[in-house]
Structure 1
């Protein structure tokens, strides 16, 4: 990424991967202490475990059209509500599929 002057993108990707790991840790801690979070608590944490933002950051890293740090950051924030909706939907779908697998 340094060769194509996109080292800033690696920092964004690392940041989102750190958020992912932190949220996995929260889920593990809840499970260990047998804590049942409220729906709101669960959904806030679940959005972080879906990894959509890290995927978006990784995809933008590979795009030649996105060269400037301002453009990258603007695209990462442009559809903030769309990202949240995507994370919510994917999180709930993942939970449904996981529940169906464990029932069989």
Structure 2
């Protein structure tokens, strides 16, 4: 399924948002966006990605900044849920 190219955020978000989550929240998958062209998540890692997304969603404020990131994180969350419906054949690519 092809979607818009900025649904997870702009290129600078790799470093400024997702990259910062390793230190602040102890995340493993999303911070990898700060050093790779494409994050390809499959199989049991989809559960881990969903946990990371839910953790970030629970910390967002209700201001404009929070809404900006809530929209993007929910895009990833939706993709993960869809991918999980395909079992082992499902995957999410964020790039």
Is the pair's TM-score, using the shorter chain for normalization, greater than 0.5?
no
Q: Report the structure, 1 or 2, having the larger helix content.
A: 1
Query: Which of 1 and 2 has greater Rg?
Result: 1
TM-score by length of 1: 0.36
Q: Report the structure, 1 or 2, having the larger strand content.
A: 2
TM-score by length of 2: 0.38
